[in-house]
Amino acid sequence: MLTKINELQAKTILTKSGLPGADWVINPYRGCQMGCMYCYAAQIARWKHPSEEWGSYLDIKINAPELLKKELTNLETKNKSKDFGFIFFSSVTDPYTPLEAKYHLTRSCLQVLSDFGYEGKIGIQTKSPLVLKDIDILKLLKNVQVGFTVTTLDDKVSRFLEVSAPPVSERIRALKELSRRGVPTYAFIGPLLPHFMNSKADINHLLDTLQDAGVAEVWFEHINLSSKIKARLFEYLETESPNLIPEFEKADNQEYRDKFNQVIYECLEGRNLKLGLGKVIFHHDLPQKK
């Protein structure tokens, strides 16, 4: 899909986070070229691009590094510290969307954090091996962790639902490489894809693969089928694979989630893996931050 590019001057870059576990988020881009069919950010960003298809545009905050430098200095003065909490890349885009290869905004923001000597935790979550280009800077940061979203181990499934994202086999290879180079990693298994990732054997195979890739922490999240996400996803499934719709609908209830949580907890038993937030996440159950 061709991307409509819009370079802009952002007013702010380090924003308070509504995500569990994160204090701040940095989104160097608005929009995301990966175009995942289950993406919740597609709805959040809609107010700026009401009629454009998710994945077809990218707003590029070209002043992100300069802004970040100023905002870090202001926060240091206010907090008298170089640690203001956990900074997360990114909440409504992939920080390594393909055009990062041209604009290097995520890289430049990481460089700013490194030059500043940020002492708090920094998290990066992506679906792209493009993050490997920044290992030199990642190694300079004091407390950084890189996560890959892994929803399946089948490239055909990742291509089907994460339409323009790098296939999952490339992500697993990138996790291995990060681990080999000494960068701490985690995997975000979310959303848990009904039909494709719904058995003990699926979860065990996935966890074996991730541990083999050097992952020490995993996060699990149930699929969010709130009305707007569902409308976009089901419109796509209706055209591409209508037999999946009842499978997805079946998974959208508390009984299914409770049962599957038990399966996941059993699969985690005896493994040397940390579980993010200590539980399988479902967006409705999370405390809302102000």
Residues in 92-131 at the binding interface with ligand SF4, rule: CB under 6 A: 93-94, 127
What is the nearest approach in angstroms of ligand SF4 to the Cβ of residue 127? 5
Stretch that binds ligand SF4, among 36-44, 110-118, 133-141, 215-223 (CB under 6 A): 36-44
Considering the rule CB under 6 A, would residue 36 count as an interface residue with ligand SF4? yes
Calpha distance 5→56 (Å, rounded): 9
Give the residue from 38, 169, 17 showing the smallest Cα distance to 89.
17
Near ligand SF4 by CB under 6 A: residue from 14, 39, 223, 264? 39
3-state secondary structure of 37: coil
Q: How many residues does the chain have?
A: 290
Query: What are 125's strand-pairing partners?
Result: 147
The pair of structure tokens assigned to 70 is: 């100023």
What is the nearest approach in angstroms of ligand SF4 to the Cβ of residue 114? 24
Near ligand SF4 by CB under 6 A: residue from 35, 129, 190, 276? 35
DSSP H or E run through 201: helix 200-212
Closer to ligand SF4 at the Cβ: 50 or 278?
Answer: 50
Near ligand SF4 by CB under 6 A: residue from 13, 22, 34, 197? 34
Count other C-beta atoms under 10 Å from residue 187's C-beta: 28
Closer to ligand SF4 at the Cβ: 114 or 151?
Answer: 151
The pair of structure tokens assigned to 241 is: 């694979």
Give the residue from 79, 83, 66, 80 showing the smallest Cα distance to 117.
83
Considering the rule CB under 6 A, would residue 41 count as an interface residue with ligand SF4? yes
Binding site for ligand SF4 (CB under 6 A): 32, 34-36, 39, 41, 93-94, 127, 162, 165
